[in-house]
Amino acid sequence: MLYNRTDISFAVYGDYWRQMKKITILELLSAKRVKSFKSVMNEEVSNFVKHVYSKAGSPVNLSKKLSLLGNGIIAITSVGKKFKKQEAFLRVVENAIRVAGGFSVADAFPSYKFLHLISGVSSTLRRAHREADDMLEEIINERKTNKTEADNILDVLLDIQKRGNLQLPLTTDNIKAIILVSKLYIPAASLAIAHALTRTLA
């Protein structure tokens, strides 16, 4: 799912990890870059509050709405906009997390390779990877075609890839892995937003 762990969070410690850590600190999550995302977060949170306010007197599924809020913010800051297949992409990621995080008999007996085939976990993850890969390829090609000023993580990574002045090359698969992992943090982002809102409303 993570392109042989070539993202940032799960990369093997070594030259590639050190290079990606440097890129993250200096380019992706610099103070200037994070500050540039403030208007996006403010707008999305404002829309969320307005929506909840409009439902006064009616029950609101806050868990679902907070998940959508976190997904919206991460989508815009990572790829530049809420892309048309966002919900489908999120379903693929959630399904992969559910399958990979659940219990499997094959996990208890890792040396018995045939159990991985029988359990269906491997085939499910491979299918999820293919679906996610197709969507990520479409997103990247679209950003390359409609190139504007770098205002999101994907644009920054594409610029770094184009410059090509790295010790180790930044491949398209590396970029896909980084974007995919950013989607895995949607639940964490939603929780952080929930805490922030709680403090604000208090």
Asked if residue 163 is part of any domain, the answer here is yes
Asked if residue 161 is part of any domain, the answer here is yes
Token output for 65 = 């709405």
How many folded domains does the chain comprise?
Answer: 1
The residue segments making up the domain with residue 133 are 15-201
Helices (H), the chain: 15-23, 31-36, 38-54, 62-79, 86-101, 105-108, 113-119, 121-145, 153-163, 172-184, 186-201
Note the pLDDT of residue 70: 79
Asked if residue 81 is part of any domain, the answer here is yes
Q: Give me the percent of the chain exceeding a pLDDT of 70.
A: 73
Asked if residue 5 is part of any domain, the answer here is no
Chain segment 91-147, per-residue pLDDT in tens:
777 777 666 665 565 556 566 665 556 656 677 778 888 888 888 888 888 888 876
User: Domain holding 185: CATH number?
Assistant: 1.10.630.10
Asked if the model's pLDDT at residue 188 lies above 70, the reply is no
Indicate the pTM of the whole model: 0.74
Asked if residue 113 is part of any domain, the answer here is yes
Asked if residue 1 is part of any domain, the answer here is no
Asked if residue 145 is part of any domain, the answer here is yes
Asked if residue 112 is part of any domain, the answer here is yes
Q: Average pLDDT of 73-102?
A: 73
Confidence of residue 195 (pLDDT cuts 50, 70, 90): low
